Structures are given as structure tokens and as C-alpha cells.
């Protein structure tokens, strides 16, 4: 596949290839990875494409090494990424904590599979908490973008690189095995965002200036407090400016079904069917999982009676919805640990049950 020929034409493509192609078009100069199903196509594609373009590709010895190689590469101001899945993203948590503290524009693609532990290779959304809360140490946030179709895999890959550099903060594209493996018609286009100037911080060798140090270690208590306070000023800006979500028929909705990522696809179908049945129901999808659209959910909760959160996990995003709604409306949950989306029929049945039947 020659990337240059892709822009401006409609092609049928797998989610994993769409992400990889978008990363190349976004100007990603270095890819570091280790194979894991269901995202291995990303590394396979990158191994050939990056060499063809004279860019960097390393088959890392582990995910632990891969994400640290990304840290090294982005510290010089170039765009770099890794991709992985679930149990292997667990191995990257240390580095993600460092990267937030070091304020490095790391881009990581997480294609979720079943868990916990090794789990299996079926789709899942069980790593919502892993992405949004994380397992690294200390106070930090990672920007998390969740596509729900293959076109959005492209759109949000572009955006991941942009936001990572704009805020000098690690950014995760959170897809799942369903999106990674399914094919949909997509259209590529040129990277739409401005290039961010890195000349004030990137490591380029201390020529004609004092040496720069990218570090997370502040030996004194007060220094560390000031440092983390500044990080949180940045997070406040992100929360004020970068929230993105999708709403469907929420204007007069008495019940709003909330879902992220691939699960939203069936939610929207179920809401359409319920509307045809005369039920006042709407759908809500956070596109940015961090920053989470808490403010909008809180506004909706002023008039919505119930929220039904559906996820392919045992209830993770539902906690963020409850925090946002803060007791103003009932928050219900329907989920399953792993596998394909919950069926539309089951969702319709659940909505009807929660709305007292028709």
C-alpha cells in the first residue's frame, strides 16, 4: 500500500491498517513495537512502510522497551508511536507515568482485548480504567481518544499526534479488537493540524545554548509540589478546551444511553428503534475519555431521568458518568466482560424495561 496514493479516495480498510496509515500520514517518524493480537497488523504494516520511507522501525524486545524507545524518540521533538494491547499495555504503565512527568508527546495505540491477565483475543472495553486512570505512580492524566468506527480511527490518530504535541502530554488512541479487525470504507486526507514548534524543549544537542534536561525527579518537597501544580494547570486547560462528544436525540430524552467506542454503534441503532416505538430516548458518546465530558452530562442530568451506561466490561465508564451526574439522575449499567457488542435487541429490551414498557 502506497500511502501517498491513499488521500482523497475511498478505500475499504481494516481498522488496524487505517490507524497505521494515518500515523504515517501524520508524519510519525519512528515506530517501536512488539507483537500482540489483535493489533499486530499495525506493527506489520509499519515494519515495511517505515523502512520504505527511510523512517525508523524497531522490533523491540518487549513492550516495556518499546514505550521507552518512544520516550527517547519524542524527546528529540519528532513524532513517534507504539501500539499494543491490554496485558501488554500493563507493561507500559511505568513509562507512561514518566512520560507525563517528563511532558513528552508520546502517542500510544491501545487495541483492547479480553482480560484480566492474558484473557483472550475477543474484543473488549475492559481497559477503560487502564487508559483513563492508568497503573503508573503519582498524579497524572493521559489524553484518551476513543473511535467508534474505522473512519474515526483515522481522524483520531491525526488528533492524537496533534494533542500530544500541543500539550506535551502522552495521548492514547483507545480502540478495541472489533475496530482493529473490521473493514469499513474510509477516506484519507492530509494531516489537518498545524505542526507544533518543539524548539523550546526538544533535545538536539547543547549547541549555542545551555544543556537541557528532561526529567521527572525533583529532590525537594517544594520543587515537586510546584512541578505537579504546573502539570495540573495544563490538565485544566485540556479539560476546558479539548472535550469532545457525540449526542443523538437527547433534546427531549427521558433516558439517555451512554457508550464509548465500538459499543456506541449498537446503542445508536437501538435508540433509533426505540424512537420509532415512541420512546423518548437518546444516545451519548464521549469521544475524549480524558478529558471526560462531565460538564455536558451534568447539564443533561438536570432534565434526563435515567442514564443507561453500556460497556463491554463490568462497569468502568459508568463510574465517571455517576461522578458527572452526581446524584441528579439514576445511572444504570448493562455490560458484559468480553466479546462482540451487546445485541441491539437486548438493548431495546433493556431500554423498554427501564422506561416502564410500552
Partner 1 sequence: MATQVFKIPESFRKNVRYSFCPGCDHGVAVRLVAECLDELGLTENAITATSIGCSVGLYDFLNVDSIEAPHGRALAVATGVKRAKPDKFVFTYQGDGDFASIGWAESMHCAFRGENLSAICINNTTYGMTGGQLGPTTLLGQVTTTSPTGRNIEYYGYPVKIAEHIALSDGTAYSARVSLDSVANIKKAKLAIKKAFEVQLKGLGFGFVEILSSCPTNWRMTPEQAHERVRDEMMQIFKLGVYKDITV
**Which residues are at the interface with partner 1 (CB under 8 A)?**
29-30, 32, 56, 58, 60-62, 64-66, 68-76, 78, 80, 94-95, 98, 102, 203-208, 210-217
Cell 427531549 locates to 252
Minimum separation from the CB atom of position 65 to partner 1 (A):
4
Minimum separation from the CB atom of position 70 to partner 1 (A):
6
Minimum separation from the CB atom of position 53 to partner 1 (A):
14
70/348 with CB nearer partner 1: 70
Q: How far is CA 68 from CA 79, 137, 243, 273, 292, in A?
A: 14, 16, 28, 47, 27
* Among the listed residues 116, 226, 160, the one whose alpha carbon sits nearest the alpha carbon of residue 20: 160
Dihedral of CA atoms 169, 175, 177, 182 in degrees, nearest 10, equals -130
Spatial distance between the Cα atoms of 118 and 88, rounded to a whole number of angstroms: 9
57/245 with CB nearer partner 1: 57
13/71 with CB nearer partner 1: 71
67/287 with CB nearer partner 1: 67
Minimum separation from the CB atom of position 98 to partner 1 (A):
5
Spatial distance between the Cα atoms of 287 and 160, rounded to a whole number of angstroms: 12
Minimum separation from the CB atom of position 4 to partner 1 (A):
23
CA angle 97, 102, 108 (to 5 degrees): 55
227/245 with CB nearer partner 1: 227
Q: How many CB atoms lie within 10 A of CB 195?
A: 11
Cell 437527547 locates to 250
Minimum separation from the CB atom of position 156 to partner 1 (A):
24
98/167 with CB nearer partner 1: 98
28/186 with CB nearer partner 1: 28
Minimum separation from the CB atom of position 19 to partner 1 (A):
20
Spatial distance between the Cα atoms of 112 and 124, rounded to a whole number of angstroms: 6
Scanning 54-176, the segments in alpha helix (DSSP H) are 63-74, 86-90, 93-101, 128-132, 150-167
Spatial distance between the Cα atoms of 358 and 341, rounded to a whole number of angstroms: 25
Amino acid at each position: 500500500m502506497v500511502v501517498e496514493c491513499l488521500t482523497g479516495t475511498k478505500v475499504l480498510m481494516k481498522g488496524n491498517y487505517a490507524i497505521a496509515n494515518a500515523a504515517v500520514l501524520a508524519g510519525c517518524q519512528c515506530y517501536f513495537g512488539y507483537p500482540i493480537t489483535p493489533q499486530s497488523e499495525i506493527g506489520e504494516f509499519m515494519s515495511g512502510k517505515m523502512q520504505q520511507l527511510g523512517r525508523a522501525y524497531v522490533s523491540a524486545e518487549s513492550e516495556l522497551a518499546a514505550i521507552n524507545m518512544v520516550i527517547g524518540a519524542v524527546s528529540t521533538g519528532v513524532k513517534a508511536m507504539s501500539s499494543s494491547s491490554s496485558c501488554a499495555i500493563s507493561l507500559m504503565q511505568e513509562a507512561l507515568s514518566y512520560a507525563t512527568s517528563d511532558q513528552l508527546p508520546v502517542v500510544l495505540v491501545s487495541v483492547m482485548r479480553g482480560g484480566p491477565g492474558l484473557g483472550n483475543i475477543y474484543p473488549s472495553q475492559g481497559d477503560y480504567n487502564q487508559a483513563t486512570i492508568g497503573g503508573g505512580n503519582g498524579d497524572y492524566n493521559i489524553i484518551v481518544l476513543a473511535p467508534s468506527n474505522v473512519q474515526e480511527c483515522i481522524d483520531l490518530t491525526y488528533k492524537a499526534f496533534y494533542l500530544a504535541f500541543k500539550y506535551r502530554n502522552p495521548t492514547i488512541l483507545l480502540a478495541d479488537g472489533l475496530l482493529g479487525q473490521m473493514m469499513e470504507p474510509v477516506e484519507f486526507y492530509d494531516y489537518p493540524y498545524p505542526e507544533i514548534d518543539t524548539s523550546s524543549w526538544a533535545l538536539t544537542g547543547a549547541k549555542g545554548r545551555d544543556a537541557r534536561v528532561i526529567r521527572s525527579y525533583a529532590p525537594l518537597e517544594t520543587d515537586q509540589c510546584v512541578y505537579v501544580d504546573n502539570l495540573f494547570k495544563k490538565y485544566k486547560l485540556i479539560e476546558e478546551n479539548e472535550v469532545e462528544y457525540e449526542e443523538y436525540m437527547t433534546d427531549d430524552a427521558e433516558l439517555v444511553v451512554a457508550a464509548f467506542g465500538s459499543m456506541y454503534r449498537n446503542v445508536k441503532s437501538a435508540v433509533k428503534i426505540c424512537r420509532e416505538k415512541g420512546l423518548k430516548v437518546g444516545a451519548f458518546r464521549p469521544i475524549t475519555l480524558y478529558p471526560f465530558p462531565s460538564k455536558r452530562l451534568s447539564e443533561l442530568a438536570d432534565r434526563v431521568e435515567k442514564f443507561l451506561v453500556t460497556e463491554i466490561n463490568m462497569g468502568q465508564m459508568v463510574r465517571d458518568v455517576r461522578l458527572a451526574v452526581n446524584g441528579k439522575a439514576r445511572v444504570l449499567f448493562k455490560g458484559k466482560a468480553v466479546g462482540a457488542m451487546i445485541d441491539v435487541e437486548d438493548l431495546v429490551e433493556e431500554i423498554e424495561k427501564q422506561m416502564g414498557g410500552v
